[in-house]
Amino acid sequence: MTNLKSKIAIVTGASRSKGIGATICRSLANAGADVFFTHWSPFHEFSGNGLDQEFPNMLCEELRSIGVKSAHIEVDLSKSESPSLIMDRVVETLGTPSILVNNATYESPVDFRTLNKEILDKHYSVNNSGTLMLSLEFAKRYEKSFPEGKDGRIINMVSKGPDSNNLAYIGTKGMMIAITEPLSVGLAPIGITVNCVDPGPTDSGWINDELRQQLLPLFPSGRIGVPEDAARLITFLASDESGWITGQTLKSEGGFLGR
């Protein structure tokens, strides 16, 4: 069993009980890590995914009941002050983290007729600028707190594919794939690995029956992915056992045939 005891992890974008972010939090906590998570309710109200205002507190208590420490903050990752705010709060409540899971995302489906600069900038401000600035703030503080330089982890959740109705989302996620390898080279000397996880289509509550019937034939294993599939891989990448894996984009999508 993966052992993350004495580790402190940040997971961004944990706002829904069935979401990948919350499932990652549970998986890391079950492996022994203390977990700090972020959430941003206005996005979920806008996206129509539904939101339970009490869920962050409920998740925090759920994680504590496992036997680990947990804390959380509502924060807009598109704001320039958010990376420092997140890191300050983590240190105040739990200590200096050694694991960062960049799960928070902004997504608004657009095609070539509807995509404009404003929509693209909204995606960029969260999926790229906010995520990267948080990663750099995490790395700078890690370097100061862990001068021996080992066991730091940054894990980016990414996506890909030919969906012409999701140009801004796939494009900005593609940038995270592109920057992972050079960032991994830059952070290797201070003991941080950087990897991407592509979970493919994941049934986290947004897949309706019609879409499920369309997707199911594209999974040769006979089922659609669930959040636990990605969470297991992320928990492994957060562990000491993954220390020689860096700069990679790993798929956890059950052989998904849609590209």
24 and 230 Cβ atoms separated by less than 8 Å: yes
Instruction: State the number of CA atoms in the 13 A half-sphere of 259 facing the CB.
Output: 2
Query: Phi and psi at residue 24, in whole multiples of 5°?
Result: -60, -45
**Residues in the chain, how many?**
259
Paired with 73 in beta bridges are 38
Q: How far is CA 117 from CA 121, 122, 167, in A?
A: 6, 9, 12
Q: Nearest Cα to 77, choosing from 102, 54, 95?
A: 102
Active site residue 169: yes
How big is the chain by its Cα radius of gyration, in Å? 17
Provide the residue type at 181 as one letter. E
12 and 21 Cβ atoms separated by less than 8 Å: yes
226 and 202 Cβ atoms separated by less than 8 Å: yes
Q: Which of 106, 124, 142, 169 is catalytic?
A: 169
Helices 167-187 and 117-124: crossing angle, nearest 10°? 30
Task: Name the H helices within the chain.
Answer: 20-30, 41-47, 55-66, 82-93, 117-124, 131-145, 167-187, 209-215, 227-237
| Active-site residue set | 169
